[in-house]
Amino acid sequence: MQIRQLKVANFRGIAALDWKPGHAFCCLIGPGDSGKSTVLDAIEAALSSRWFSFNESDFMNCEATSSIIIEATVGELSKALKSDERFGLYIRGWTAASELRDEPEDDDEPVLTVRLTVDAAMEPVWELVCDRVDDPRTLSNRDRALFGLVRLAGEDARHLTWGQGSVLSRLTGDSNAAARLAEAYRSARASAKLNEIEALTHTAKMAEGFAKGLGAYVDGTYEPGLELGRSGLSSGSIALHDDQVPLRASIIIPASGVRSQGFQP
């Protein structure tokens, strides 16, 4: 998917914008508070599958008398987007001269235009628009997910990993990565030999004594063990284990028989 044209009206600091990106890769450069993030927010609001909540501060000069209107025209459409079962009836044409027309001709690129409208009621409405079709088509979150928009920022950088639900994971499909990682994890735990570090084993023994003193059931012996997480290999990867099971992943049963989750000495 490529954005061919972006129109924004009355959104935050943007009174009116009509931008036709000339290249597949674009950089927004400018001083702080010049509207760079607002442009990205507008694109995300129009094409993301997320539901966005709006308030008066999202309107130009905080005046909700004029509606927020964001139109994103996108090309390089997938087969799913162009199919008649989906949005084929709303296909428009993008010319070689970067002009949009509702009746596409043979040499035109097929494009779709998504319009997001927010009025004084603060209820966003997403629609597919095409002037040759009388009634716009309302788009659900699931419909917008077909555009595959991903914004890499903050926690969304997870899409640069093969984590659950990430873009890379969806593109890869089934693989043997999980089995390979499990094997590598077992090898790493065995080679770490953390139980040979006296300071760690001494502290684990102290924690075991505290746990038993509080009436907790200890299945085996508390010991340091390797627990890999998102932070990778670091001192934070060393966790307290009970008979090779991470303690925070196990259920502690006090002598009274009342169940409690977790344990902190």
Tens place of pLDDT per residue across the chain (265 aa) = 899 999 999 999 999 999 999 888 888 998 988 899 999 999 999 999 988 899 999 999 999 999 999 999 999 998 889 888 889 899 999 999 999 999 999 899 999 999 999 999 999 999 999 988 888 999 999 999 999 888 877 655 666 677 776 777 777 776 677 778 778 878 887 888 888 899 988 998 998 888 888 888 888 888 888 776 645 555 555 677 777 676 665 544 444 444 333 333 3
Do residues 134 and 231 both lie within one domain? no
Kindly tell me the sign of the dihedral angle through the C-alpha atoms of 213, 214, 219, 221.
Answer: negative
Q: Which of 110, 142, 172 is the last residue of a domain?
A: 172
Do residues 9 and 106 both lie within one domain? yes
Q: What is the residue range of 47's domain?
A: 2-172
If one counts the domains in the chain, the total is 2
Which residue has tokens 């025209």? 73
pTM of the entire structure?
A: 0.64
Do residues 120 and 215 both lie within one domain? no
Bridge partner residues of 126 (DSSP): 116
Q: Compute the distance between CA of residue 152 and CA of residue 149 in angstroms, rounded to an integer.
A: 10
Q: Which of 156, 172, 188 is the last residue of a domain?
A: 172
Half-sphere exposure of 261 (CA within 13 A, CB side): 1
Do residues 247 and 210 make contact, with C-beta atoms less than 8 angstroms apart? no
Do residues 50 and 138 both lie within one domain? yes
Radius of gyration over alpha carbons of the chain, in Å?
27
Do residues 75 and 137 both lie within one domain? yes
Q: Compute the distance between CA of residue 224 and CA of residue 180 in angstroms, rounded to an integer.
A: 24
Phi, psi at 238, each rounded to 5°? -90, 120
Do residues 152 and 76 both lie within one domain? yes
